[in-house]
A and B are shown apart, each in its own frame.
Chain A
Amino acid sequence: MIELILVGSFLILVCVGIPIAFSMGLSAAITILYASGTHALNPASGVMFASMSSETLLAIPFFILAGVIMELTGISTRLVELADKCVGHHKSGLALTAIIAALLFAAISGSGPATVAALGAVLIPALVRHGYSKRHAASLLASAGGMGIVIPPSIAFIVFAVVASDHQRVSISRLFMAGVVPGILMGLAFYIVARYLPRQLEQLTTNANLNVSKGLGRLGLGASSPSAASGGDTPNSGVGPQSETATKGIITLDDTVDPDAEVGNRSRRAPWREILRALLRAIPGLLVPVIILGGIYGGIFTPTESAAVASIYALLVGLLTNRELKFGGLWKVFTTAGVQSSRIMIIVAAASLYAYVITSNQIAARVSDALLSLTESTLLLILLINLILLIAGMFLDAVSAFYLLVPLLVPVLLELGMDITTIGVMMTINLALGLVTPPVGVNLLVAGSIAKISYAEATRGIWPFLLAGLVVLMLVTFIPQLSNGLPNLLGA
């Protein structure tokens, strides 16, 4: 009965359109009231305070800050340019450019939709010019953006490590390393799909400077107002997960979309001089993963510290390379990143209260017993759990899904003999695919609005990519070496 109230009230609140964070907090509170009365609500504030003041989770605001600054300084465009100069001349070179640029950007950013917004504005129109249908161009970028949470750094892995530590300790550094090979595999799978997609010329009606926010607003799925970053005061109708990118699109300063960055217009390899020039321009961005991963594995920083160092580094790069990033720009950077990270951290806070209800009422034990009693077959159970995760990913972001499902599913998976590293990567890939599955597919929504197609049309193009992603998911699920190989090699 308690389970029913906890899950049922959450689903009802979410479906009415109440933000996920508040739905979680309220359904947890309702369940506590039902199960034990008003006095049992007392621990709620302490539980939430503890989760918001965790040093480990402090990495989240810092990684978001670094991402916002780097977006602002045009690093994404330079990565596209570099990838294009290197592989753009190949057959299907543009698709490869998109994948490589996404891999590079994923190594900077911890967020999926951010990757889509940053790269899509340049790449989607270029792909369409090269004969890809709009829905396939949008889907390619949307799926490539999903790699953002599998390739380190990744907010999803940080949250997984924190929530899973109740069951088995796993370090963030290890999970970060474990995501590299599966992330590259995802990129490879998406590239193979893109290679065999049908191509024909279609009329292009969009351009690189499309206003993302406007596109979203038109879809009726809501977006924050242009005052988001400047701290204006007009609350907008509609509340949606895609607002992160909408806000992002707006803070971009004028010179970040490089007019030279038009890609995919070459049939021969670019001259070495040009490649070198592109490389030099991309170096500030390419150094970020070096600083973050090198810092963590070189024993210089904790993951949280690496995020703070990356922020300061990005700020310095920004101040040196972007003359407009003066005081006003900095103000925008901090308000934008501040609101973005609060949005995630308030989910963390409310979700830990939700997890508290699961724990204090021994719900996890009952659910795992029920799951384990369903069938003797380990294979079926693992497939079933993947299905549960995929369904959760259709509706929820990774942070909420982890708080909800890790306490319930990780004990079962451990019982079935899976190792915690593989579990973490498997769950994260599931939720990365969730970024492109309807009804709530944030990446797809952003990509679709850049391509100026309806959300429904965009979802029609996603199936081949989703299938490719599922293949990788199965490989990762059943071949633990894919996740464990690299961290074991590096002793992480």
Chain B
Amino acid sequence: MFDRILTSVENTVIVAAFATMTVVYFANVVSRYLLHGSLAFTTEIVVNLAVLLTMVGAAAGVRLGSHPSFDLLPSVSKGLVRTILISLVAAATLSFFLLFLWLGWEMTSRQFVQGRVTPALGVPQWIFSMALPVGAALGAIRAVQAGFSQIRMAALKQEASV
């Protein structure tokens, strides 16, 4: 249940961010020729949404197991060795996201205190920077989930083949 809610949150953020980016950036091109609207506002929205898209998409990538890797060792190994390798991959992925959860949170709170605002929109920068800790938190959860489910699947496969 928790997993399904998380998945639909991920997908909704990805679709909303990406679709908005595409439409707004396209409108940017149109506006330059037809409307002479402000390009700076739209660019600022799009580049900051790109960070949100990347972080949440990276978390979804962990769920789907689709981050490029050189997985010769895990794929040829069996039994305990395989379990250890899967755990190592999950632990490293988790450490990556925990590290950037912490660093992203530090950056966000510094910006909150310092009061930096974006040049065109005048929006506080920390709001956009939240994408870093939020996405990293999602990624951390996904790393743990993926680790456990892969160990379970490896064990099932082992049983089936015995």
CB atoms of A and B under 8 A apart anywhere in the complex?
yes
A residues with CB within 8 A of B: 13-23, 25-26, 29, 41-42, 44-46, 48-49, 52-55, 58, 61-62, 65, 220-222, 224-225, 227-228, 231-241, 243-244, 247, 300-301, 304-305, 308-309, 311-312, 330-331, 334-335, 337-339, 341-343, 345-347, 349-350, 395, 397, 439-440
Question: Is B114 close to A, CB under 8 A?
Answer: no
Least distance between B162 CB and chain A CB atoms (Å): 17
CB atoms of A45 and B107 under 8 A apart? yes
A-B contact pairs, 25 of them (CB 8 A): A21-B58, A41-B99, A44-B103, A45-B106, A55-B47, A61-B53, A62-B22, A222-B71, A225-B64, A227-B64, A235-B65, A235-B146, A236-B153, A243-B65, A308-B29, A309-B26, A311-B26, A312-B23, A335-B60, A339-B60, A341-B54, A341-B57, A342-B56, A345-B53, A346-B58
Cα A437 to Cα B68 in complex, Å, equals 16
Who on chain A is nearest to B82 by CB? A237
Known: A58-B46, A231-B10, A338-B18. A244 touches B66 (CB 8 A): yes
Residues on the B chain within 8 Å of A330, using CB: 19
Closest 10 CB pairs of A and B: A342-B57, A19-B67, A241-B68, A338-B14, A346-B58, A345-B54, A45-B103, A243-B66, A45-B107, A17-B74
Residues on the A chain within 8 Å of B132, using CB: 45, 48-49
Known: A233-B4, A338-B18, A341-B53. A221 touches B71 (CB 8 A): yes
Question: Is B117 close to A, CB under 8 A?
Answer: no
Cα A40 to Cα B149 in complex, Å, equals 35
CB atoms of A334 and B65 under 8 A apart? no
In the complex, besides A235-B65, A239-B69, A439-B72, 11 extra interface pairs with C-beta distance below 8 angstroms are: A17-B69, A19-B93, A20-B67, A58-B25, A221-B71, A227-B64, A237-B157, A239-B68, A247-B64, A334-B19, A335-B15
How many inter-chain residue pairs (CB < 8 Å) link A and B?
A: 251
Task: From B63, B65, B96, give the contact of A222 (CB < 8 A).
Answer: B65
Known: A25-B96, A309-B26, A440-B70. A238 touches B64 (CB 8 A): no
Question: Is B80 close to A, CB under 8 A?
Answer: no
Task: From A62, A235, A335, give the contact of B25 (CB < 8 A).
Answer: A62
Question: Is B145 close to A, CB under 8 A?
Answer: yes
CB atoms of B67 and A343 under 8 A apart? yes
Cα A19 to Cα B75 in complex, Å, equals 14
Residues on the A chain within 8 Å of B19, using CB: 330, 334
* B56, B75, B96, B104 — most chain A CB neighbours (10 Å): B96
B residues with CB within 8 A of A: 3-4, 7-8, 10-11, 14-15, 17-19, 21-23, 25-26, 28-29, 43, 46-48, 50-51, 53-58, 60-76, 85-86, 88-89, 92-93, 95-96, 99-100, 103-104, 106-107, 128-129, 132, 142, 145-146, 149-150, 153-154, 157
Who on chain B is nearest to A353 by CB? B100
Residues on the A chain within 8 Å of B51, using CB: 49, 52-53
CB atoms of A346 and B4 under 8 A apart? no
Who on chain B is nearest to A14 by CB? B70
Chain A residues touching B, majority SS: helix
Cα A15 to Cα B73 in complex, Å, equals 7
Known: A55-B43, A65-B18, A339-B14. A29 touches B54 (CB 8 A): no
Least distance between A244 CB and chain B CB atoms (Å): 7
CB atoms of B14 and A335 under 8 A apart? yes
CB atoms of B74 and A231 under 8 A apart? no
CB atoms of B64 and A228 under 8 A apart? yes
CB atoms of A236 and B46 under 8 A apart? no
CB atoms of A231 and B11 under 8 A apart? yes
Residues on the B chain within 8 Å of A312, using CB: 22-23, 26
Known: A42-B106, A339-B61. A22 touches B56 (CB 8 A): no
Residues on the A chain within 8 Å of B23, using CB: 312
CB atoms of B145 and A235 under 8 A apart? yes
CB atoms of B54 and A239 under 8 A apart? no
Residues on the A chain within 8 Å of B43, using CB: 55
Task: From B26, B62, B71, B85, give the contact of A240 (CB < 8 A).
Answer: B71
Least distance between B64 CB and chain A CB atoms (Å): 5
Task: From A21, A48, A52, give the contact of B67 (CB < 8 A).
Answer: A21
CB atoms of B29 and A16 under 8 A apart? no
Residues on the B chain within 8 Å of A238, using CB: 65, 71, 74-75
Task: From B22, B58, B72, B93, give the contact of A342 (CB < 8 A).
Answer: B58
Least distance between B83 CB and chain A CB atoms (Å): 11
CB atoms of B66 and A305 under 8 A apart? no
CB atoms of B22 and A19 under 8 A apart? no
Residues on the B chain within 8 Å of A304, using CB: 25
